[in-house]
């Protein structure tokens, strides 16, 4: 029986966070046994904000090293760098021509980033979802494991694919977002009303995957809670505590009622330390392996070269079909 196809990716901008790990990578690792998986580093998407070229290169390799350290097996999955499979750019352009300005202007990520980078609202930032649609549709992916913030991009991908299929006959598989409830939206530790983000201005808001254990502990101890001193899952009234519970649940597999029972009669101090330790323990094996993998540039090059070769075979087939259907010689 054919396995279902999975594709996902992470931008090569900035340092990866606990949000990226719990919302994406951790789920990818679990999926690799059951599905035919394509995991990429979206370095072309990174160009929508200004990067130092050296940083972009280094970040691309760092993310690859994290993928491997986190347990993605390069023998089981196709792991590649987006820019090395030229079909992405090519289908991205074609899909630009099947995507409407009106749809793109409704994207919340575009609106948010336009505010954050008001001096650089470039066309790539606007058409970003069409390139993301190309990433997914090239591989005929059935499932796209992402955090909640990417759901809207999955919806537009489906709309573009359906539009194309209607015009030219069945060309693309219509993908589904795969969003795990407990890890869908890891919130900031200082500002639990907004998601934990690489680009947060307050460093204590974010756990970076490279943070040392003592830094992780310190950040959790400082996490914003409330004055009730009761561990109870209530996202609207108790966003800080609920976020910590969600992190803990996602790391340990415990349910919210397990957690409420575990901390009955205990205060926030104990709770924060337990959550911090669970995260430290979860990240430790990744951190232990990460640096030595990153130092082995030859090994990384082998992985991404082979990954791009495999990816290209599948991507080229879809792109040829598309070109044939629309009359591009």
Asked if 155 interacts with ligand TYM (CB under 6 A), we say no
- 144 beta partners: 177
Tokens of 318: 């879809």
Q: Catalytic annotation on 218?
A: no
Is 119 in contact with 146 (CB distance < 8 Å)? no
Crossing angle between the packed helical segments 87-96 and 297-326, to the nearest 10 degrees = 40
| Least distance to ligand TYM, CB of residue 82, Å | 7
Asked if 10 interacts with ligand TYM (CB under 6 A), we say yes
Segment interacting with ligand TYM (CB under 6 A) among 65-73, 183-191, 234-242, 264-272: 183-191
Does the annotation mark 198 as catalytic?
yes
Sequential DSSP letters for 72-98:
--TTTSEEEEGGGSTHHHHHHHHHHTT
147 touches ligand TYM by CB under 6 A:
yes
307 binds ligand TYM (CB under 6 A): no
**Residue 205 and residue 190 in contact, taking contact as beta carbons nearer than 8 Å:** yes
Site residues (CB under 6 A) for ligand TYM, limited to 13-32 = 19-20, 23-24
Whether 116 is catalytic is no
**C-alpha dihedral (27, 29, 30, 34), degrees to nearest 10:** 120
Q: Is 42 in the site for ligand TYM (CB under 6 A)?
A: yes
* Gap between the Cα atoms of 299 and 309, Å rounded: 16
Given 86, 180, 198, 254, which residue is catalytic? 198
207 near ligand TYM (CB under 6 A): no
> Which among 148, 189, 141 has a CA at the least distance from the CA of 7?
141
- Nearest to ligand TYM of 9, 307 (CB atom): 9
Q: Catalytic amino acids?
A: 113, 195, 198
The binding site for ligand TYM (CB under 6 A) comprises 7-11, 19-20, 23-24, 42, 45, 132, 135-136, 144, 146-147, 149-150, 153, 184-186, 195-196
């Amino acid at each position: 029986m054919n396995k279902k196809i999975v594709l996902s990716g992470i931008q090569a901008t900035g340092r990866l966070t606990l949000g990226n790990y719990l919302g994406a990578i951790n789920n990818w690792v679990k999926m690799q046994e059951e599905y035919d998986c394509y995991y990429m580093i979206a370095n072309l998407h990174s160009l929508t904000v200004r990067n130092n070229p050296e940083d972009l290169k280094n970040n691309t390799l760092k993310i690859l090293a994290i993928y491997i350290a986190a347990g993605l097996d390069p023998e089981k999955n196709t792991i590649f760098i987006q820019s090395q499979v030229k079909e992405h750019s090519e289908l991205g352009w074609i899909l630009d021509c099947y995507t409407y300005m009106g749809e793109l202007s409704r994207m919340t990520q575009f609106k948010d980033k336009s505010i954050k980078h008001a001096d650089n609202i470039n066309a790539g930032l606007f058409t970003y979802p069409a390139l993301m649609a190309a990433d997914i549709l090239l591989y005929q992916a059935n499932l796209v494991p992402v955090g909640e913030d990417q759901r809207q991009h999955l919806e537009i991908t489906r709309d573009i694919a359906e539009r194309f299929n209607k015009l030219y006959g069945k060309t693309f598989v219509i993908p589904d977002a795969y969003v795990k409830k407990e890890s869908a939206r890891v919130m900031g530790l200082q500002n639990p009303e907004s998601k934990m983000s690489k680009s947060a201005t307050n460093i204590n808001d974010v756990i970076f995957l490279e943070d040392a254990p003592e830094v992780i502990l310190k950040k959790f101890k400082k996490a914003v809670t409330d004055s009730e001193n009761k561990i109870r899952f209530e996202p609207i009234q108790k966003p800080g505590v609920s976020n910590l519970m969600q992190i803990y649940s996602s790391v340990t597999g415990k349910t919210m009622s397990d957690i409420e029972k575990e901390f009955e009669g205990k205060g926030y101090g104990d709770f924060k330390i337990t959550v911090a330790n669970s995260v430290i323990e979860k990240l430790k094996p990744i951190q232990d392996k990460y640096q030595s993998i990153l130092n082995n540039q030859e090994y990384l090059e082998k992985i991404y070269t082979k990954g791009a070769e495999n990816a290209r075979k599948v991507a080229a087939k879809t792109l040829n079909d598309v070109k044939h259907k629309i009359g591009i010689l």
